[in-house]
Structure 1
């Protein structure tokens, strides 16, 4: 942190509160925190500005791990399979194949970008983005992002669920 921004975490917390972000004045919005970081260090790139803003929110109890600025949580699960990407993609994209390995009643596929990603929605409103990356002739990585989760418990449950489903997919693919 210090090497990239010139300040350590404790200094950033103090500087931001000296800039007017005292919690006693209410809950500052994420955009206000980012703006304060930019005022304090205009040359800081967007990635570090975001990192400092999120770090401030976490340090002050305004945001939990895996929570976005709207209060929603996200779970990401990834696995590399000993199978070609086209086979993993087909196992997800084809309804009949998907029903053979995925225990997901109520899941609605909303968009398919052949060979790249699949978007889907759970009945509770949580959204999925499933991405496929070729890792060679007989290897691929599948990443599932589950967004719009309500809390940390839902996030932990989603991660555990996808790990169990990845085991089922590996068995289905013979990987």
Structure 2
């Protein structure tokens, strides 16, 4: 692994990381530096963060926050860019809250998008497919550029609205993230009308 480039600023989500993990960001940096975490891969760094969170004992979702701390530290040391996953590809998520339960929203989504052959000029490589669990509805497809789409829907506790998130994964660059973020924001705005 190449020598990381230290980024002295705290992540934008530092307060959330502190609240969720029970450990302040500056304490995370000190701890991870003392553990020589920059030499670890993502998985081992996340294990180290998880062990520390469990030791402190203030988190209600330690695994979740261990991943968040790991990603933030990887960005801090220059190993990862915003939107970059641990495999080096990029990902973007755009979400919107819509009226109706998840079944109604999935039905509307399918009526609008099941017959498309391309998104933003990129052909589909895999036909759209829907699936469901008790708490979620999913709509997925692949694109010819190697990227994948997963549209996830979950009814909010009131039962009157649904959170819909478009996850566009396996993108090639940070520029692709911004390109697709703009596209999906516009699509979701149109879909909500």
* TM-score, with length taken from structure 1: 0.72
Q: Mean Cα displacement is larger for which, 84-93 or 153-162?
A: 84-93
Name structure 2 gaps, 5 residues minimum: 1-16
Contact 2:22 2:53 in 1 (8 A): no
SS at structure 1 position matched to 2:81: coil
SS at structure 2 position matched to 1:106: strand
Contact 1:85 1:133 in 2 (8 A): yes
Q: How does 1:159-170 map to 2 (within 5 A)?
A: 159-170=181-192
Give the match for residue 34 of structure 1: 46
Q: How does 1:103-142 map to 2 (within 5 A)?
A: 106-107=123-124, 108-113=126-131, 116-134=137-155, 139-142=161-164
SS at structure 2 position matched to 1:148: strand
Give the match for residue 8 of structure 2: none
Q: Report the structure number with the largest CA radius of gyration.
A: 1
Name structure 1 gaps, 5 residues minimum: none
Matched, 1:54 2:75: no
Change in Cα spacing, 1:168 to 1:65, as seen in structure 2 (3 Å) is same
Give the match for residue 18 of structure 1: 34
Give the match for residue 179 of structure 2: 157
Residues matched between the structures, number = 165
Q: How far 1:29 sits from its partner (Å)?
A: 0.9
SS at structure 2 position matched to 1:63: coil
Contact 1:92 1:98 in 2 (8 A): no
Candidates 93, 106, 109, aligned match of 1:76: 93
Change in Cα spacing, 1:59 to 1:117, as seen in structure 2 (3 Å) is same
